[in-house]
Structure 1
Amino acid sequence: MTKVRARAYTSPTLVLLCFDWADGDKHPDFLGFSIKRSPGYGKSGAPQYLYNKLDFTPPKSGAKPKLSNRAPIQKFNWWDGGIGPSDAGKTFTYTITPVLGTGPSNLQEQQADAIDLKVKLPETVEGGIGSYFNRAVVSSQSFLSIAKKSLNAQMTWLANGIENAVPDFLSSNADHVAGAIYHLTDQWKIIPAMKKYKGQLSFSYFLKTGSKGDEDSKPAADLLANGKRIFTPRSKISSLMHDKFIVGFNGGAPTRVLMGSMNFTPEAQTVQANVLHTFESKQMAALYANRHDLLLNDPTTAATAKGTLLYPGSQWKSVTDIPDSKIRIFFSPEKTKSRVSIDTIIQAVSSAKSSVVFALFSPTDKPLLDALLAAGDQGKIMLGLLNSISNPESKAKKAGKPLTASQQVAVTVYHRSRKDKKVIPFGAFSKNAPRSFLPELKTIDTSSFSAKQPGGKIPPVHVHHKFVVIDADTANPIIYTGSQNLSVNSVSKNDENLLEIKGNTALAAVYFAEFMRLYNHYRARAVWEAQHGAKAKGSKSAHDPLVLKVTRDEWVNEAYKKGTAEYAARTRLA
């Protein structure tokens, strides 16, 4: 017999367990794994099994999830849903045990092959880097009970601690702060924190007037502006001033940076999946401070790309004062026809050794998409999460117009997602939810906490991330993250900031854990919709149950077949 192999990928608020039992292919009655956590969920701290929503028979309406020794985990990865912001820095031991049997009345844990995996969650700030990922899963069974509570309670659960990032950053910088923000509307946490801040505050914010303009941030800027709080509009950029960053000054010098994908809006903190980071780095802070100063002058797109002697234009800039990390920063826009930033990512993806995962709002760059999909075709683990996936072919054909370049990318994504389900979109269980599952919400209304002018529509954004993580399961990971959507416009027409982080295995594990949490959540819904939705062909009837299987071959799929994506994931991630 062979013991279970297991590995944990952790963030401050999440434990993702990846495990493998090599002997599983020898046992047709291998029914999955039980997972026990110590300390458990109760106040006593007694060891307790993790829960499984699924059972061998369709659960009755309102039935509680079963413990995994009675309802084994029929997957090779699982995340602990009982971890929250207060658990950052704590240590847990997970006992992962193979289970053999023929069904609910015949289950035997193979104790001799079990493994005890000790897992310490990182603190929110480790190695000079703070990491804040929100939950942002309104479309979940867990949120249905939260939805009965106050709006503040709902938002706090969805925000998962990210709502504290900006207020805490402001309060810890005594001298002054300077930054650039695409959208500033949040009266829940951020605007109150700016009002409370006693130092000097200077921000560049995006403003375009006219019928197709964008004045979302102007009410907040007007509300906040006074002698110590200066807000300068940015309007001469071709498309968007899409940055989201703050620089902190102490002792008269820039010392810290906050950056990420999150706009400063109530919906960005709660219903849109986002990340923010803080960096304790004087080098990085100086580069971002220079960028802020350049944007204050509102240069044209061409002038921004060219830069000046004091504020260099678009090029990779190295940061060397953060331990265990090789970091470079790129500020867009680039000069016309230049693709330095995105081509760097394409080259890194093409050179991946083991895995590539990405979470993007919407990919529109064909060379990048081709490189990402090719990674999967070459036997590497390739998984992607997008805000939405649609097929524009029929509309273009009906209009008698050829597909645009971005529409061609959308068509490729659509057909690939239908083929292998490796790239999937946001989803929710609707009225035809699996038996014992309730229909889920898609969003909540946070407009009561917005300074935005009434009547403006909030776009249906659920996945707002902008990251690619390469070889997270190896000793040499690469992370690309920032404000850039990795699109044509983001390269040449927008103000953007992009980080390349090499060699930081702990941070790569954070990204991988948070990615898999969202990916597994939405994949279950995407697969169900493909089989049972209105457009499903030859589908089963609505409300079919999701149930555990009673033989190994019904649930492992191709996980024990060499050369398959499932085999690679089983053997490499554990």
Structure 2
Amino acid sequence: MRARASKDGLTVRIIAGTHAVLLAFDLADARRTGCLGFSIERTDVETGDRRWLPNSLRFLSDPRAEQVTTARAPLQKFRWGDYTTEPGRLYRYRVIARYGTPADIIAQGVLAERPGGFDVIAGGVALELRTEDCRNEATSVFFNRGAAASQAYVNRFGDNDPDDIPDALTWLSRGLEEAIVAFIAKADGPDYALHGCIYEFEKPTPIKALIQAQGRGAEVHIVYHARAGGNTKAENQHAIASLGVTFATTARTKGSAIMHNKYLVLLKKDATGALKPIAVWTGGTNWTEGGIYGQLNVGHAIYDTAVAERYEAGFQVLTQDLSIDETQAKNDVITPVPASRDTLAHGATPLFSPQNGLSMIDLYADICRTAKVLMVSAPFALHERIRNVLGTPTDGAMRFLLADKEGSYGEKGNIDKLNADPGNMAAVAKPFEGLKLADFQKRKLDRDRLMVDESFHHAGIHIHSKIILADPFGPDPVLVTGSANFSTNSTVANDSNVLVFRGDTAVADVYVADFMRMFEHYWFRSRKDEKLQANQVFALKDDDSWSVKYFTPGTREQRDRLSFLGMNT
């Protein structure tokens, strides 16, 4: 959901996802002089909870070293993220441009932070909006917390191992595992069926939910990866045997390099008694503890019969365990690949691999090339054709790359080369070390490195979501999301899938808000490390010089400001 308001030269734009909200600001030229930043007050309209959003920086003259709020440490940026929202809730935000000396702002802020002191800081722009609701079938998108939640985890649960704290596992899942179980629960009788293709068919909770669906009379049939090599085949078959699975299972033993899908099709009998596909659960989340609690992952339920019919057709192909040539030929018919972004249909378009050729890669590259604002999440090495697009001059565009490792963008040093262009912001996932949460996640992720050979080995992956999001702040966004990585192997060798959304602004809002939640964490950490290594001061400026770069043509900050305001579309 989106909202915009202006008053007295201050403009505020808000983009609301489910668990995250992005706020963008702008100031008229006449209001820039003397501005030391922005304070943000948030009210949960339904509960009455009222608070100042926090800031991680403060004025050097602020004597209080504890965590400060934007009331006395205003944001010296033209956008911010609130990553503590709940889905489907009505919030009121008030953004105030702050003027005066740091001493004035600190003193006023201390008073405003006291109980009932909010109105000490008056004025600003206020607007209300409701966050997107993942319980709504139109925006049924679930991101877990991912490794970047380390500090928030410690604040809540202490430096303790999540294995010993059930509530901590629930917190890390953030509804992702629960959503898989809830989708399965929709098969609540003999009129339903669940047909799925699950790469790592291991985690007991969703498997037990399938057993319960079978117990309610629903038909259940799962295709799982069972190629020789690695341990995935053995682990999948161990789970099937140890959990007492009696519903139909098909081992995918040949054809693809790996059966890399993670989807379920929900079917329901029509008036004639024939089973008809009605919905799909998909995304990049493996059914493992590392997939649910460790890596950044997303699951997405689609309640669209046309899309569900395509997935059911793909499922029926995989149950035959065909050769790779036969599978490619059938996928080319079931999900033909659009030639370019311009030829994409509005709505959701599924694409299956393996494909006979790199047309999927060419589509991704075209989406990246034509984007004025671009977000890319890359767990593994991006295909050269996509890297070539990202390596070209941005020419006014703004691109954000979240790479799991530096190798996700080719050779060492390539990330630095990207960041030399003011239109690029590239961050690498470097989780906190030394915390028990980090040890837990490493243990789970190393446990999940079960690939068929070393060319697919991926121990310790923290950014596992596969996302390309083009022009999310405009009226015609394009989103690529699913289980397929943006690589040759994923396109021509693996069983995998993506959904390409065009024009769905609500879905784009959910994805961009959570993408920026993770991106900002890793970008801030890298910049902070650089400043510390250079012995630079990491604090707020005492004058309005901080804002100059945001209004200087051609700078990264100017492009960033215009992008989030929706003016670079």
TM-score, length of structure 1 as denominator length: 0.82
Give the letter aligned to residue 381 of structure 2. P
- 1:446, 1:511 → 2: CA distance? 25
Cα distance in 1 between the residues matched to 2:61 and 2:238 = 52
Q: Which amino acid aligns with 1:56?
A: F
DSSP 3-state at the match of 2:430: coil
Q: Deviations over 1:256-315 (max 9, x none)?
A: 10000111111111211111111111111111111111111111211110128xx93652
Q: CA deviation at 1:484?
A: 0.9
1:470-549 correspondence runs (5 A) = 470-532=470-532, 539-540=534-535, 546-549=538-541
Is the 1:16–1:78 contact (alpha carbons within 8 Å) kept by the matching residues of 2? yes
Matching residue of 2:321: 298
Distance in 2 (CA, whole Å) between partners of 1:557 and 1:214 is 58
Give the AA of the match of 2:541: K
Matched, 1:133 2:143: yes
Matched, 1:206 2:208: no
Give the alignment partner of residue 438 of structure 2, picking from 439, 442, 446.
442
Residue 58 of structure 1 deviates from its aligned partner by: 8.8
| 1:388-435 CA distance string (max 9 Å, x none) | 115xxxxxxxxxxxxxxx88556534542577671111124558xxxx
Counterpart of 1:356? 374
Corresponding residue SS for 1:307: helix
1:155-304 counterparts in 2 under 5 A?
A: 155-174=169-188, 175-187=192-204, 189-197=205-213, 198=215, 199-210=218-229, 215-224=234-243, 226-227=245-246, 229-251=247-269, 252-304=275-327
Distance 1:325 1:312, change over 3 A: closer
Aligned partners of 1:58 and 1:224: how far apart in 2? 61
The match for 2:336 is 315
For residue 243 of structure 1, what is the amino acid of its counterpart? N
Q: How far apart in 2 are the matches of 1:36 and 1:373?
A: 40
Contact 2:290 2:447 (C-alpha < 8 Å) held by counterparts: no
Q: Which deviations, in whole Å up to 9, do the C-alpha atoms of 1:42-90 show, x marking residues without a partner?
A: x9725332122322239899x542221111112222222432xxx3211
1:220-241 deviations in Å (ceiling 9; x for gaps): 12334644x1221112134211
What is the match of residue 154 of structure 2?
Answer: 144
Q: How does 1:271-420 map to 2 (within 5 A)?
A: 271-307=294-330, 312=333, 315-316=336-337, 325-335=346-356, 338-352=357-371, 354-374=372-392, 377-390=394-407, 408=410, 412-413=414-415, 415-417=417-419
* Aligned-partner residue type, residue 511 of structure 2: Y
How many pairs does the alignment contain?
Answer: 522
Quote the Cα distance in structure 2 between the aligned partners of 1:74 and 1:186. 44
Task: From 59, 66, 69, give the equivalent of 1:67.
Answer: 69
Pair 253,60 (structure 1): closer, same or farther in 2 beyond 3 Å: farther
- 1:433-488 deviation line (CA, Å, top 9, x unaligned): xxxxxx7953525979999899x998201100101110111111111111111111
Deviation (angstroms), 1:3: 2.6
Distance 1:305 1:103 in 2: 64
- CA drift of 1:506 comes to 1.2
- Partners in 2 of 1:408 and 1:133 — Cα distance? 27
- Distance in 1 (CA, whole Å) between partners of 2:305 and 2:152 is 41
- Could you tell me whether the CA contact under 8 Å between 2:348 and 2:500 is conserved in 1? yes
**What is the Cα deviation at residue 212 of structure 1?**
7.8
5+ residue gaps, structure 2: 1-6, 110-119, 270-274, 340-344
- Aligned to 2:37, the other structure's residue is in SS state strand
Equivalents in 2 of 1:413, 1:563: separation in Å?
20
Look up the equivalent residue of 1:39 and give its one-letter code: D
Contact (CA 8 Å) 2:202, 2:235: kept in 1 or not?
yes
> Deviations along 1:513-570, whole A, 9 cap, x unmatched?
11111111111112233444xxx6xx32xxx7632221232x4462111122311221
**CA distance in structure 1 between the partners assigned to 2:239 and 2:550 by the alignment:** 52
Task: State the distance in 2 between where 1:73 and 1:356 align.
Answer: 24
Displacement of 1:363 after TM fit?
A: 3.0
Give the Cα–Cα distance (whole angstroms) in 2 for the partners of residues 563 and 448 of structure 1: 44
Give per-residue Cα distances to partners, 1:336-390, cap 9 Å, x unaligned: xx111111121122222x301111102331111122343x621111111011115
Residues 219 and 453, structure 1, Cα contact 8 Å, conserved in 2: no
Q: Report the equivalent of 2:126.
A: 116
In the alignment, is the contact (CA less than 8 A) between 2:419 and 2:426 conserved in 1?
A: yes
Shift of the 121–453 alpha-carbon distance from structure 1 to 2, 3 Å rule, reads closer
Q: State whether structure 2 residue 25 is matched by structure 1 residue 19.
A: yes
**CA distance in structure 1 between the aligned counterparts of 2:68 and 2:146, rounded to whole angstroms:** 25
CA shift digits 1:315-341 (9 cap, x unpaired): 2389xxxxx952211111111xx1111
Q: What are the equivalent positions in structure 2 for 1:423-442 lying under 5 Å apart? A: 423-429=426-432, 441-442=437-438
Structure 1: which 5+ residue stretches go unaligned? Answer: 319-323, 391-405, 432-438
- 2:84 maps to 1:82: yes
Shift in alpha-carbon separation, 1:208–1:517, aligned structure 2, 3 A: same
TM superposition shift of 1:105: 3.7
Are 1:572 and 2:563 an aligned pair? yes
Q: Take 1:247 and 1:482, find their aligned partners in 2: how far apart are those partners?
A: 14
Q: For 1:134 and 1:24, locate their aligned partners in 2 and report how far apart those are by CA, in whole Å.
A: 43
Asked if structure 1 preserves the Cα contact closer than 8 Å seen for 2:265 and 2:308, the reply is: yes
Shift in alpha-carbon separation, 1:80–1:139, aligned structure 2, 3 A: closer
Q: Which amino acid aligns with 1:292?
A: F
**DSSP-derived class of the 2:406 partner:** coil
Q: For the residues of structure 2 that align with 1:415 and 1:214, how far apart are their CA atoms?
A: 40
Deviation at 1:217, TM superposition (A): 2.1
Q: Is the partner of 1:559 in helix, strand or coil?
A: helix
Does the 8 Å CA contact 1:17/1:77 hold for their aligned counterparts? yes
Equivalent-residue separation in structure 2 for 1:312 and 1:46 (angstroms) = 53
Aligned to 1:436: none
Task: State the identity %.
Answer: 24
Of residues 9, 15, 25, the one that matches 2:15 is: 9
Q: Contact 1:268 / 1:274 at 8 angstroms: preserved in 2?
A: yes
The answer to which of 71-80 and 498-507 deviates more is 71-80
Query: Which amino acid in the other structure matches residue 80 of structure 2?
Result: W
| 2:140 partner SS | strand
Aligned to 1:140, the other structure's residue is in SS state helix
Choose between structure 1 and 2: higher helix proportion.
2
- Alpha-carbon distance between aligned partners in 2 of 1:195 and 1:334, rounded to the nearest angstrom: 33
- Are residues 551 and 208 of structure 1, via their aligned partners in 2, closer, same or farther at CA, if it must alter by over 3 Å? same
**Cα–Cα, structure 1 residues 122 and 225, in superposed 2: closer, same or farther, change >3 Å?**
same
Change (3 A) 1:263 1:162: same
Contact 2:133 2:139 in 1 (8 A): no
Change (3 A) 1:528 1:255: same
Per the normalisation by structure 2, the TM-score is 0.83
Is the 8 Å Cα contact of residues 449 and 458 (structure 2) preserved in structure 1? no
Partner SS for 1:5: strand
1:17 Cα offset (Å): 1.3
Q: Is the 8 A contact 2:60 2:539 kept in 1?
A: yes
Counterpart of 2:113 in structure 1 is: none
Q: How far 1:146 moved relative to its partner?
A: 3.4
